[in-house]
A = this chain, B = another copy of it.
């Protein structure tokens, strides 16, 4: 089953399992410890660069972390919409369509 923990919670769990202080992980990531604290509590957005580094540091599955990250992003965008389920369906269809027609990124 998929992990429904937020990206922040997942980062915190990885860090605590490794018994690494927040301050030290922040230093490895080259960000302020207050920023990392906020990321772990989902008060600030992480970004893909940070996630990639974290995957390396803790030898975690990068793809799974990215799924957690982006699903959070999507969730925040549409959580208050009653038609959220249809929105996701249509988004998926649009992306699939895009791929079959091989649109280039301008």
Q: Is A32 an interface residue (CB 8 A)?
A: no
The reply to whether A84 and B90 contact each other, CB–CB distance below 8 Å, is no
The reply to whether A93 and B63 contact each other, CB–CB distance below 8 Å, is no
Q: Is A52 an interface residue (CB 8 A)?
A: no
The reply to whether B87 and A71 contact each other, CB–CB distance below 8 Å, is yes
Q: Is A22 an interface residue (CB 8 A)?
A: no
The reply to whether A78 and B83 contact each other, CB–CB distance below 8 Å, is no
Output the least CB separation between A79 and chain B (Å). 5
Question: Which of these, B68, B78, B80, B97, contacts A74 with CB under 8 Å?
Answer: B78
Q: What residue of chain B has the Cβ atom nearest to residue A92's Cβ?
A: B88
Q: Is A86 an interface residue (CB 8 A)?
A: yes
Question: Which of these, B84, B94, B105, contacts A95 with CB under 8 Å?
Answer: B84
The reply to whether B75 and A87 contact each other, CB–CB distance below 8 Å, is no
Given contacts A70-B87, A71-B87, A72-B91, 17 further A-B contacts (CB under 8 A): A2-B90, A4-B90, A4-B94, A4-B97, A67-B87, A67-B90, A68-B90, A70-B83, A71-B88, A71-B91, A71-B94, A73-B77, A74-B78, A75-B91, A79-B95, A84-B92, A84-B95
